[in-house]
Amino acid sequence: MDAVSGRKQFDISAALDQAMRVFWQRGYPDASLDALGSATGLGRGSLYGAFGNKETLFGKCLDRYASIYGAQYEQALAAHPGDPVRAVEAFFDVALRRIADPSVPVGCLMAQSAAQLPTLKEENGKQVRGLLHVQRQRVRAALADSPAESRTLDELATFVVAINQSLAVLSRAGTPDAELRSVARLACTTVADTIARAVSEDVPGDRRQPGH
């Protein structure tokens, strides 16, 4: 209890974590105020008082999720300067570790929210798209050391993010970890082959005239 006001105090970060798990597990439409209140230990009045309405709470949960896993992605991608393929492998490792973690819901809050964009309020939808864009920018920056042309690297960044979101969707469908890791390996092979092919096409070959 607060000795001055007599009001019950609570840990906002812990409440956000619990609310985030509800949105993560159920999706925005099915995350009822009753479920959010039960998870956080707060009544509707306290929820509104602390976080505003459901849309505002969801936005804060998206930010919370992005700060936790975004930092892990950024660290993984930055750990292999000059080796874009290894950086992408590390990026997928973060996602696969999260998927395999029994202490959190299956899948990915971002992937689930992106799939439910038509049900989200405009501001929340804009936020989800923005966070996906940030993820793509992180991957693109990790690919920047590659000698491949910019357009190819742009396409690869989009491809990597698409595979990352697909891993989350597959995990929610019950796809075994071994199969998810196989998808990630094939994606890394595609990145490596695409970069190698793009580089080889830029190297002048034997351009002798016919008959020489």
pLDDT in tens, 103-120: 999 999 999 999 999 999
Q: What is the pLDDT of residues 61-120, one digit of tens each?
A: 999 999 999 999 999 999 999 999 999 999 999 999 999 999 999 999 999 999 999 999
Judged by phi (left if over 0) then psi (alpha if -120 to 50, else beta), residue 11 lies in beta
Q: Is residue 4 pLDDT above 50, yes or no?
A: no
Contact 142, 77 (CB under 8 A): yes
Alpha carbon of 76 to those of 31, 69, 72, 102, 133: distances in Å?
Answer: 31, 11, 6, 21, 18
**Alpha helix (H) ranges present in 52-108?**
54-78, 84-100
* Across 123-148, average pLDDT: 95
Q: What pLDDT band is residue 202 in, cutting at 50, 70 and 90?
A: low
On whether the pTM is more than 0.75, the answer is yes
